[in-house]
Amino acid sequence: MALPRGRAQKDSDLHLGIRFELNGDPTDPYEVRQVEIVDTDGETVLDTITDIEHEDDSGEYYATVSGTLLDAAGRYLDRWSYTWLDGEGEQTETQDFYVQETAVLEHYGGDLQAGAGHLKGFPALAAEAQDGITQADLDAAMDVADTMIESIFGGDYDLSGWRDAPPPLVSALWEMLAAAKAIEFRGLRLGLPGEGGDPAAAGLVRQARELTEKVLHGRPERLYLRDADGDLLRPRRNRAPTQPRTAEATSDWF
């Protein structure tokens, strides 16, 4: 089984995806030609993948990377080559992923890292709380996101096993919520000005709400929840809900 982006580890196959949007709506480009996997040096192309998975009108494209290429821990790049409209020039979109020695998942998504993913541009972590954001703040943000995931899905789905192999959509939602909470902590800790909270955090929460609406209520279109193997997960019927690990399964953001 190929691991999702947030759980990349050495010598294991990896399932990478990209989502294209136009004016906030998922949109298929005219062509997504290939994805290049770039080594930890940021330059060497390890593989060029043209066998790309796609469902029409989803805006989402996926490719599987062989674990034989991921033989070192560190930051890799996935560079997607695409053309928006027939006759236009080709463009590229570059994302990154971090390969770990062993990806032991403690949360419903990959661990937050300052300067990566949704936290690009995040300040470097401080050793002491009085000097800025610490690893303890990131840990607290991830714990809050865990609780929120359990609150959102625990009444409709059986969450057993999700910690070991969370559904990819759940991991994506978790990463938005955890990052939003970390950004909120940054604003509170550093006393940043602004009304209504940090716009970056507000944007992540808006995306999280939209994703949740699509999964749970099919609005404005249905996104089906699938497990890490791609099998459809159906809501439970006439069963007691999964209890959250903590009593306060709420947030001032979501």
- What is the pLDDT, as a whole number, of residue 38? 96
Rounded Cα distance, 13 and 224, in Å:
24
Average pLDDT over residues 108-118: 83
User: Are 244 and 142 in the same domain?
Assistant: yes
Q: Choose one of 48, 68, 99: the last residue of a domain.
A: 99
pLDDT band for 134, please (50, 70, 90 cuts): confident
User: Are 142 and 194 in the same domain?
Assistant: yes
CATH code assigned at 20 = 2.60.40
User: Are 7 and 48 in the same domain?
Assistant: yes
Query: What's the number of CA atoms in the CB half-sphere (13 Å) around residue 17?
Result: 18
pLDDT band for 104, please (50, 70, 90 cuts): low
Can you give the pTM of this predicted structure? Answer: 0.55
Interval 54-90: pLDDT, tens = 988 888 899 999 999 999 988 999 999 999 999 999 9
Domain extent for 41: 3-99
Spatial CA neighbour of 251 closest among 165, 173, 162? 173
pLDDT band for 3, please (50, 70, 90 cuts): confident
- What is the pLDDT, as a whole number, of residue 196? 43
How many domains are contained in the chain? 2
Percent of the chain scored above 70 by pLDDT? Answer: 87
pLDDT band for 238, please (50, 70, 90 cuts): low
- What is the pLDDT, as a whole number, of residue 1? 57
Cis preceding linkage at 220, omega within 30: yes
pLDDT above 90 for 187: no
User: Are 114 and 207 in the same domain?
Assistant: yes
Residues whose CB is less than 8 angstroms from the CB of residue 235 and which lie 6 or more positions away in sequence, other chains included: 156, 157
pLDDT above 70 for 229: yes
Q: Choose one of 80, 99, 118: the last residue of a domain.
A: 99
Query: What's the number of CA atoms in the CB half-sphere (13 Å) around residue 62?
Result: 14
- What is the pLDDT, as a whole number, of residue 120? 82
User: Are 95 and 109 in the same domain?
Assistant: no
- What is the pLDDT, as a whole number, of residue 41? 92
User: Are 163 and 65 in the same domain?
Assistant: no
User: Are 82 and 152 in the same domain?
Assistant: no
User: Are 91 and 176 in the same domain?
Assistant: no
Phi/psi of residue 116, each to 5°?
Answer: -130, 155
Interval 14-64: pLDDT, tens = 988 888 988 878 899 999 999 999 999 999 999 999 999 998 888 889 999
User: Are 28 and 139 in the same domain?
Assistant: no
User: Are 111 and 28 in the same domain?
Assistant: no
Best-predicted range by mean pLDDT among 156-160, 200-204, 208-212?
Answer: 208-212
Q: Choose one of 64, 99, 134: the last residue of a domain.
A: 99
> Mean pLDDT across the chain, nearest whole number?
82
User: Are 166 and 114 in the same domain?
Assistant: yes
User: Are 185 and 155 in the same domain?
Assistant: yes
